[in-house]
């Protein structure tokens, strides 16, 4: 396994792979790897010739009061996980390498970025779209793999790829959960024991909502009321949003006719966690 830290070396590696007729699969991450990331790598190993994993904590997707500085990092451990998942190349550039002095070009996926997490995290998806576009230009993947855990991110990236005619196929992978249902996340490491227990209210709210939907209730407000109740009875939880929305446009839905996204963002003792499920 190769560890590459410069754009020049990554581009030259990828050019060589492409001229040899092989395909590149790319799994971008912010590191501090868990089984959710590993499921993306496993898929990546199946679908392409050369598997590249990105590890880059992207400063432009964090707000000024967010956790960029304290975001968990453990490159040594991540390299062991990468090796175990048969990654060919880990691309781990510095922030200065990706954003040199004078950098000023950003990608804004205008509408999709405004909903859900975009409301309490203005500029977040501009940072995500920009770094993913840059990483695509650097790694030149044929296939890129993302998790449904960050459903809005997935929708934003698919839109960007279509709008900008990028030649990369996006594969999405289901959410990997802890045995008690909590969606795996690098940010779960912030939680103390009480918060960890309280964090179960996110997936419990989704289970409740899905159960009501499966019982034939298609009215979004009824589903939301019941799901919200679960979170509101948890003293450590503060709801950022809980929404039933269109899976493509992310606009609020009142009646579910086909499929819908049930998405939540909740602060647990100050730590913001997200989760979602598809209804239908």
* Segment interacting with ligand AMP, rule: CB under 6 A, options 74-82, 133-141, 179-187, 226-234: 179-187
* Segment interacting with ligand AMP, rule: CB under 6 A, options 10-18, 184-192, 229-237, 268-276: 184-192
CB of 178 to ligand AMP, least distance (A): 9
Q: Which is nearer to ligand AMP, 30 or 224 (CB)?
A: 30
Residue 175 as a binder of ligand AMP (CB under 6 A): the answer is yes
* Segment interacting with ligand AMP, rule: CB under 6 A, options 15-23, 30-38, 119-127, 134-142: 30-38
As given in the structure block, the two tokens for residue 234 are: 């948890």
Residue 44 as a binder of ligand AMP (CB under 6 A): the answer is no
Contacts of 155 (CB under 8 A, 6+ apart): 112, 247, 248, 250
* Segment interacting with ligand AMP, rule: CB under 6 A, options 45-53, 71-79, 169-177, 201-209: 169-177
Which of 143, 89, 154 has the alpha carbon at shortest distance from 116? 154
Per the rule left: phi > 0, alpha: psi between -120 and 50, beta: everything else, 153 is: alpha
Question: Do 153 and 30 meet the contact criterion of CB atoms below 8 Å apart?
Answer: no
As given in the structure block, the two tokens for residue 23 are: 């395909």
CB of 257 to ligand AMP, least distance (A): 27
Task: State which H helix or E strand residue 154 sits in.
Answer: helix 151-163
- Report phi then psi at 137, rounded to 5: -70, -30
Q: Which is nearer to ligand AMP, 54 or 218 (CB)?
A: 54
Question: Do 54 and 29 meet the contact criterion of CB atoms below 8 Å apart?
Answer: yes
Report how far apart the first and last C-alpha atoms of the chain are (Å, whole number). 41
- Report phi then psi at 21, rounded to 5: 85, 5
Residue 30 as a binder of ligand AMP (CB under 6 A): the answer is yes
CB of 9 to ligand AMP, least distance (A): 22
Question: Do 124 and 85 meet the contact criterion of CB atoms below 8 Å apart?
Answer: no
Contact flags string 46-75 toward ligand AMP, x per CB under 6 A: ------------------------------
Residue 154 CB-half CA count within 13 A:
19
Which of 204, 38, 62 has the alpha carbon at shortest distance from 121? 62
Whether 37 is catalytic is yes
Can you tell me which of 43, 121, 184, 208 binds ligand AMP, judged by CB under 6 A? Answer: 184
Can you tell me which of 7, 183, 191, 201 binds ligand AMP, judged by CB under 6 A? Answer: 183
CB of 65 to ligand AMP, least distance (A): 19
Using CB atoms, what's the residue nearest to ligand AMP?
147
Can you tell me which of 113, 147, 191, 244 binds ligand AMP, judged by CB under 6 A? Answer: 147
Give the integer Cα–Cα distance in Å for 54 and 26: 7
Which residue out of 34, 37, 111, 124 is catalytically annotated?
37
Number of residues in contact with ligand AMP, rule: CB under 6 A? 17
Chain length of the chain: 280
Residue 37 as a binder of ligand AMP (CB under 6 A): the answer is yes
Residue 243's DSSP bridge partners are 263
Give the integer Cα–Cα distance in Å for 204 and 180: 10
| Residues noted as catalytic | 37
Q: Which chain residues interact with ligand AMP by CB under 6 A?
A: 29-30, 36-37, 39-40, 146-147, 149-150, 173, 175-176, 183-186
């Amino acid at each position: 396994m190769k560890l590459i830290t410069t754009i020049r070396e990554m581009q030259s590696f990828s050019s060589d792979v492409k001229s040899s007729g092989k395909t590149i699969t790319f799994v971008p991450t912010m590191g501090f790897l868990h089984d959710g990331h590993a499921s993306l790598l496993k898929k990546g190993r199946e679908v392409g010739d050369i598997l590249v994993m990105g590890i880059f904590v992207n400063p432009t997707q964090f707000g000024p009061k967010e956790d960029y500085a304290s975001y968990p990092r453990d490159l040594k451990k991540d390299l062991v996980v990468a090796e175990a998942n048969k990654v060919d190349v880990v691309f781990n550039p510095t922030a200065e390498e990706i954003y040199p002095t004078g950098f000023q070009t950003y990608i804004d996926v205008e509408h999709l970025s405004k909903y859900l997490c975009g409301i309490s995290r203005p500029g977040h998806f501009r940072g995500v779209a920009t770094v993913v576009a840059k990483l695509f230009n650097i790694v030149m993947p044929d296939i890129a793999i993302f998790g449904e855990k960050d459903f809005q991110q997935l929708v934003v990236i698919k839109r960007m790829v279509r709008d900008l005619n990028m030649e990369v196929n996006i594969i999405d992978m289901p959410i990997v959960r802890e045995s008690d249902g909590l969606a795996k996340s690098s940010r779960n490491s912030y939680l103390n024991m009480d918060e960890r227990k309280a964090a179960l209210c996110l997936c419990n709210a989704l289970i409740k909502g899905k159960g009501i939907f499966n019982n034939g209730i298609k009215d979004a407000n009824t589903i939301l009321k019941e799901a919200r109740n679960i979170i509101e009875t948890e003293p450590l939880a503060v709801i950022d949003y809980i929404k039933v929305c269109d899976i493509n446009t992310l606009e609020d839905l009142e009646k579910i006719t086909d499929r819908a996204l049930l998405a939540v963002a909740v602060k647990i003792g100050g730590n913001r966690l997200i989760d979602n499920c598809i209804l239908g």
